[in-house]
Amino acid sequence: MTAHTGPADSSQFPAARAGPKIRGQVESPVHSAVPRHVAIIMDGNGRWAEQRGLPRLSGHREGVNAIPRVLDVLAGRGVEYLTIYAFSTENWSRPSSEVEGIVELLHETLQRDTDILNEKNVRVFHIGNAERLSQDIRKAVERIQDMTRDNTGIVLNVAFDYGGRQEILAAVRQLIRDGVPAEDVTEELFSHRLFTAHCPDPDLIIRTGGELRISNFLLWQSAYSEYFHTPTLWPDLDDAELERALDSYGNRQRRFGNITPDPGE
């Protein structure tokens, strides 16, 4: 995948809707102050496996198995977009056996879950680069995006071979190729050249595994995001901890650089 080559029109940004539905899902009670877009840094798969004396790839496989449950919870709470950080541009430097296993796991998951996600009304996007992926995987990515194109439920962005700095560079280069004069470049125009041009910026970013870094994830888009850090390893993230993250967001007052208004005013 490459960065968007032209400005997105307004039809690419769906109007706010009352809770995307996954087909066959039981509705949850209505909650207030729900984030429209949740992004997750899924950290801790390797440590989860090592704690159990298993190969690291077993942790990655267990991490993949956690995604459908998280989708169900978030869709039930009315979240419209979920972005998961599956594999960074820096992850290619890991041992080749682990990298090859993760890439093969991606291929297996696409082959296994495309029809399931489509049946659940999930719309899927890949964000990141595709040049280093095999032709078979690229075809599988294109298939799931095409098959789910008309779905109206929660949008799932899978960030694979993604890096925030690289995304920004790609957007700058695209603006130059498009011949946009420097004085005409705006935040909106720039945002339309990013991989995430089809969705709003994340309201809430959750990082599992106890680390406090942003790890080159959605650097431009996260300017005003709220963060929730949990020591829970990604495969162990249960519904209660996920609900705690959502409730934490609901109890915050987002100021976007402003000051908290005086209740008496």
Q: Rounded distance, CA 159 to CA 218, Å?
A: 10
Of these residues, 9, 72, 91, 184, which one is catalytic?
91
Buried b (16+ CB within 10 A) or exposed e, 210-242: eeeebebbbebbbeebbbbbbebbbbbbeeeeb
Type and span of the H or E element at 72: helix 56-76
Name the residue among 16, 63, 4, 2 with its Cα closest to residue 203: 16
Helical packing angle, 56-76 and 96-119, nearest 10°: 30
Q: Which residue has the tokens 């390893």?
A: 233
State the residue for tokens 């976007």: 256
Identity of residue 222: S
The amino acid present at 56, given as its one-letter code, is R
Contact between 193 and 214 under an 8 Å Cβ cutoff? The reply is: no
Nearest-angstrom CA–CA distance, 138 and 150? 20
- The answer to whether 43 is a known catalytic residue is yes
At 64, phi and psi to the nearest 5?
-60, -40
DSSP assignment, residue 69? H
Active-site residue, 118 included: no
Q: Which of 9, 43, 65, 247 is catalytic?
A: 43
Residue 36, burial from CB neighbour count under 10 angstroms (0-12, 13-18, 19+): middle
Residue type, 172: V
Name the residues annotated as catalytic: 43, 91
